Structures are given as C-alpha cells and as structure tokens.
Structure 1
Amino acid sequence: MSKRLRRSLAALPLLTAAALAGDPASSFAVTPPAPTGTGFDLSKLFNAADVKYIGSFDMDFDNSVGNLETHAFQASAFLSQPIQLGSDWQFLPQFSYEAMLMNTTGPVPSLLLGDEDLHEIELSLYFLRLNDTSPWVYGAWINPALATDFQGISGDDFFLDAAGGVGYKLNDRLMVGLGAAALNITGDTTWAAGPGFAWQPNDQTMVSLFGPNFRATHDITPKWRVGVEVRPNGGIWNIDTALGSANIDYTNFRAGVTSSHNLAGDLWLSYGAGMTFGGEINVTTTDGSKVFQNQLDDLESGLYGFVGLDLKSW
C-alpha cells in the first residue's frame, strides 16, 4: 500500500467530519472550526505543522540475503487558516516534504536497488462543505506531487491523486465517514475506498480508524498523552536506472506504542516505537514489469521508531 493510498484513506473520513484534512501519519490541522456542539478535541489527531524522523530497521529480504533499513525525514504545514468559499465551503492548502534514505546491507539484492536518496514534495488542496445546522459534511482532496531521486526530472516523476468523501456526526462523541480515492491518475491508476470513525468516549480518550490507520490515545495528564497505533508506512518514487525510468514502491505496516509531551503552548514532543510487518519493495518499469521481483518483493518484520515536534495550532 503506497503512501498515497494511506493518505487518501486516512484523510477522507475525517475530512468529512470536521473542517480539517490530511493524514494522521503526516498530520495536519489548523485549529479547525468543528461543527457546533461537537464534544471532540480534534487537536489530539492533527497538527498545524510538524517535523518528524521515522527509522525502520532490520527488515530482511525473504527472497535473498541482506536486509533493508530506511530513514524518513518529514515536514508538513498548512499554509493558511481555513479559507471561506461561499457560505458553506472551506479551502485549506498544505505543503509537505519528505526525504527517504534507503540503505541495503549484505549482498545487493538487485542490480537496480542499492542505497537510494529519495524525495517527495506535495501540495495538498482540501475542500470541505460544512453547515452548523446539518450533521452531514462533504470533502474533496487534490494532491499533485513530485516524487523523485532528482537524477533527472521528467513527467514520470509527477503524480496526481484525487479523492472525495462524506461523513455524519451521530452525536457529540461519535463521527463516521466513508471516502473513495483515485491514485496515480497520471500513470497506472488505482482506485480505493475506506471507512472511518472518530470516537471520544470521554475527555481523556480518543479512538479513531481512518482506512488502514488505527490510533487510540489517552491523556495521563493535560501535558502527557500515551497511545497505540497501527498504520501503513512507505511510498512510491520515480528513479532513473540502467533500464530507464522506473518506480520504487516500498510499503509496510507499523504497530507500536506512542507518547506525547507538551513542551510549551501548542508545541508537543512525540515519539514511539514498535514492529514493522507486511512489508514489500519492488522496482517497476514504466511498462508495468516488476524487475527482480524474484529477489525483492516481501520483507520480513523489523523494528521502527520515530520522534517529532508537533505544533497543534498557529
């Protein structure tokens, strides 16, 4: 599952549940004006801006000797407060950047995959329809991105995704939603759909499921929050190889524990660790061939850890 699929399914249900958008894995929120009467503290799920490091280690190749480790450096920020469009619609732009450093140890598992320095730049555009007198919320997402090794920029390095969703506030403690997405519209398009909910049984606890992303948190104190997470990890990038233009598609899931501490004002320190599972990596040429799949493909479980700074509102 690519990062784009992860972001789409993560974003849509809550896109439809409040005036905010994005992906819990890369976070995003700007003190959103939640529907009147909601009991949710949505700042537990989203950030106005953040920077994060995620390391994944000791992922052995099932089909060959050697293993893979990755180091991801991420930064994202909303570029403005929600912009009103007419009486009900709102617009939010978000900028994101990620540097993904891949390192293989042991015998190189293919002629095309070695140590890779990969980059992704995204400008996500979110559109939301809200009305204080209605429990229904509607949202749309357009995401142009440049994902590349910067060895040569062509049309293959540009990706475009789009999505839409609808949500319903059942009561002041429970929101549900459903979204669908078209991914990599400019290439081999993938269609996906996913449900979601956000449930706050009390003021200290939040449980959410957005597509393949599950998260549960509990406030030990107003300045210390702990939780568990299960979410996809990885991405897709275009690279130049000896065989020409190709895509690296690296995905896995991570499951672990998290902790967040309020440093000052709206600034929080977050960190966590756990296991990776269900991983795979492949190099796919522009004609759809997965070259060296017999050497690459599945990855065994490994370890991961992350640390980041989160800004809850501007």
Structure 2
Amino acid sequence: MFNNIRRRLAVLPLLSTAAFAGDPATPAAIITPSASGFDLTKFINAAEVNYVGSFDMDFDNSVGNLDTHAFQASAFLSKPIQFAGDWQFIPQFSYEAMLMSTNGPIPSLILRDEDLHELEFSFYFVRMKDTSPWVYTAWLNPSLATDFQGVNGHDIFVDAAGAVGYQVNDHLLLGAGVAGLNLTGDINIVGGPGFAWQPNDQTLIALYGPNFKASYDVSPKWRVGFEVRPNGGIWNIDTAIGDANIDYSNYRAGLTSSHNIAGDLWLSYGAGMTFGGEINVTTMEGSKPFQNQLDDLESGLYGFVGLDLKSW
C-alpha cells in the first residue's frame, strides 16, 4: 500500500504509453507511437470539474469518524508545445478544496474541521516518434497546499517523476514510472507499472501506478466502468503546536457511469467504498504526536459527480 500518494501521481505511467497528439494542435486526443487507434481519451480530459464525497470513515484508534468533501477543477493550459526535436511540453493547472469534518470526541488540538486548499501547476514532458514504439515522459508538479493560515515555505510542495512506455501491439501498451513525492520535505519514492489493453473498440482496461480503470461503451453516448484509485493529499496547516502537515490518504473502489451531454462534454458519476485509509498530523521535525489517536481509518462510502471536457 502506497502512503502519502499525491493525487496527480495517478496519471504518470499511462502518460508514458499515451500522450497528447493525433492532431498535436488539439490537447483532446491521445495517440500511441504507431497511431494504432487506442482511444485513451476515455481516461484523460482536457478540462474537468468534480465533487468527491467520502463518508463515515471511523477512526481505528478513537471514537468518531471523518467525512471529506473535495471540490476539484483542472485544465490543460495549451496545446502540446514542441521543443528540442521530438519532445512536447504540456502545462496543466489544478485546484482542489478539501473540506474535512470530524464527528465524535476527537480533541480539537489534534484535528479540527479543516478547510484545505491546493493549487498545482503540472508540467508534462513527452518524447515520442511515429517510427518507434517507445515513449518517454517526465513530470514536474510544484504546488501550494495550505489552510491559508500563515502561508510560508512549508506550504510549498514539489513532486517529480519519470516514466517509459512501449507499445507491444495494436491492442497492448506497457509502461512503468517512478516518482519522488514531497521533494521539499520528507521525500517519499514510489514506483509502479502501467498498461493499457483494448481488446475491442468498446472495452478498455488500464493500470497506471496506483490506479486501475476498466470501461465499456454501452453506446457512443454512454460508458460504464469500474475504478480503483487513490484519494487524499498532504497540506501544511497551523495548529496549537505550530506548523504541521496533515496527511490524508485512502483508496476508493466503485462503479462509474459517463454520459455524453453535447459535443465533447460528458457527465460522469459513481459510487463505492473507501479502504486503506490513514490520516496523521506530522510536525516539521517529522514526529507524529497524535498517531495513537489518529492513524488508520476504517472503510467508508464515497460518491462523485463531475463534468468532463474531452477537447477544446
């Protein structure tokens, strides 16, 4: 089980096997090195807004539970920009408001109801050739993750990663990536494999890092699926003991459905269970003074709804 998983790590190895192109002027379509017809746009959006609610996650070590409400928005800021020969550069902006609320006798010194915010500028670098099955990708992600109470250098986080992918045939892509998370603080190195398998035009199954997704097109305007993906993040907050990082992570597994509203605009929603949850408050010195009250979270329920724009 990966800890401290940043939300944007989810896209890494898949980007190594598919990056924006087809028509490079449109950050809507996804291509593979041989342009075999993989339709990975099912999993990657030019822009999106989402709400994700996670509920009734009981504390293992305390009486009480945690609910979270995440409001997310992201968009690629331009078409892929060509540089240094075969390399392409793609910038992305993301914002998330994470609202945490606790129920039960959790002492306010440990964890209050928190309004947390994260602003991210992600930079993707992709190298590919039409004549080669290999794709190389790098990723840099500086962010401001804070409760906006006394913002300082501790609220700035930097993640970076690299990945490589190989197209085996017209139906299978393989990749792997490694990432360094929280490079400005307590560094965490994680890695993971990735693949995308499209046995037919209606079905796509992919594993990329800690994400697993499977989708089936019931019709051109209705897609159903199953997902397992990480949730959470790390933020710097002001507490009664000074600056500290609040680290919340879990996985969610559930069913999804997407419906084409008009043009490239889709409505997506789904629900399921959370599992493998953790939450801790860590001081700037690296200690977790409240770990015996916080730490593990039991399974809960989650639901999400969002609007996805496949292209501009």
What's the TM-score, normalizing by structure 1? 0.94
| Secondary structure of 2:19 counterpart | coil
Residue 239 of structure 1 aligns with an amino acid whose one-letter code is I
Q: Distance in 1 between matches of 2:150 and 2:107?
A: 24
Residue 13 of structure 1 aligns with an amino acid whose one-letter code is P
Q: Distance in 1 between matches of 2:213 and 2:19?
A: 20
1:161 aligns with 2:159: yes
- Which residue in the other structure is 1:141 paired with? 139
- Which residue in the other structure is 1:43 paired with? 41
- Which residue in the other structure is 1:25 paired with? none
| Secondary structure of 2:92 counterpart | strand
Contact 1:76-1:97 at 8 Å conserved across structures: yes
Q: Distance in 2 between matches of 1:20 and 1:233?
A: 25
- Which residue in the other structure is 1:310 paired with? 308
Residue 289 of structure 2 aligns with an amino acid whose one-letter code is V
Q: Distance in 2 between matches of 1:147 and 1:13?
A: 24
1:187-226 correspondence runs (5 A)? 187-226=185-224
Cα 1:204–1:121, aligned 2, differ >3 Å: closer, same or farther? same
| Secondary structure of 2:167 counterpart | strand
Q: Distance in 2 between matches of 1:19 and 1:86?
A: 17
Which portions of structure 1, spanning 4 or more consecutive aligned residues, are displaced by more than 6 angstroms?
none
- Aligned CA RMSD, in angstroms, stands at 1.3
By how many angstroms is 1:87 displaced? 2.6
Contact 2:33-2:135 at 8 Å conserved across structures: no
Gaps of 5+ in 1: 22-28
Q: Distance in 1 between matches of 2:12 and 2:115?
A: 30
| Secondary structure of 1:43 counterpart | helix
| Secondary structure of 1:294 counterpart | coil
| Aligned residue among 260, 280, 291 for 2:258 | 260
- Which residue in the other structure is 1:74 paired with? 72
- Which residue in the other structure is 1:178 paired with? 176
Q: Distance in 2 between matches of 1:300 and 1:233?
A: 14
Q: Distance in 1 between matches of 2:13 and 2:279?
A: 28
- Which residue in the other structure is 2:291 paired with? 293
- Which residue in the other structure is 1:271 paired with? 269
By how many angstroms is 1:199 displaced? 0.5
Q: Distance in 1 between matches of 2:300 and 2:13?
A: 30
- Which residue in the other structure is 2:8 paired with? 7
| Aligned residue among 227, 230, 242 for 1:229 | 227
Moved more, 10-19 or 128-137: 10-19
Contact 2:211-2:229 at 8 Å conserved across structures: yes
Cα deviation, 1:21-76, whole Å, max 9, x if unaligned, reads 9xxxxxxx632344333220111111000000000000111111111000000000
| Secondary structure of 2:30 counterpart | coil
Give the paired residue count. 305
Contact 2:31-2:38 at 8 Å conserved across structures: no
Cα deviation, 1:137-172, whole Å, max 9, x if unaligned, reads 001000000000000111100001111011000011
Gaps of 5+ in 2: 22-26
1:98-113 correspondence runs (5 A)? 98-109=96-107, 111-113=109-111
| Secondary structure of 2:17 counterpart | coil
Moved more, 165-174 or 105-114: 105-114
Q: Distance in 1 between matches of 2:34 and 2:307?
A: 30
| Aligned residue among 88, 92, 100 for 2:86 | 88
Q: Distance in 1 between matches of 2:78 and 2:256?
A: 28
| Aligned residue among 50, 61, 64 for 1:63 | 61
Contact 1:258-1:272 at 8 Å conserved across structures: yes
Q: Distance in 1 between matches of 2:19 and 2:230?
A: 24
- Which residue in the other structure is 2:149 paired with? 151
1:284 aligns with 2:285: no
Cα 1:198–1:268, aligned 2, differ >3 Å: closer, same or farther? same
Residue 310 of structure 2 aligns with an amino acid whose one-letter code is K
By how many angstroms is 1:110 displaced? 5.3
Residue 12 of structure 2 aligns with an amino acid whose one-letter code is L
By how many angstroms is 1:80 displaced? 0.3
Residue 75 of structure 1 aligns with an amino acid whose one-letter code is A
Q: Distance in 2 between matches of 1:78 and 1:134?
A: 26
Contact 1:151-1:239 at 8 Å conserved across structures: yes
By how many angstroms is 1:246 displaced? 0.2
Q: Distance in 2 between matches of 1:32 and 1:259?
A: 21
Contact 1:109-1:295 at 8 Å conserved across structures: no
Contact 1:65-1:109 at 8 Å conserved across structures: no
Residue 175 of structure 2 aligns with an amino acid whose one-letter code is G
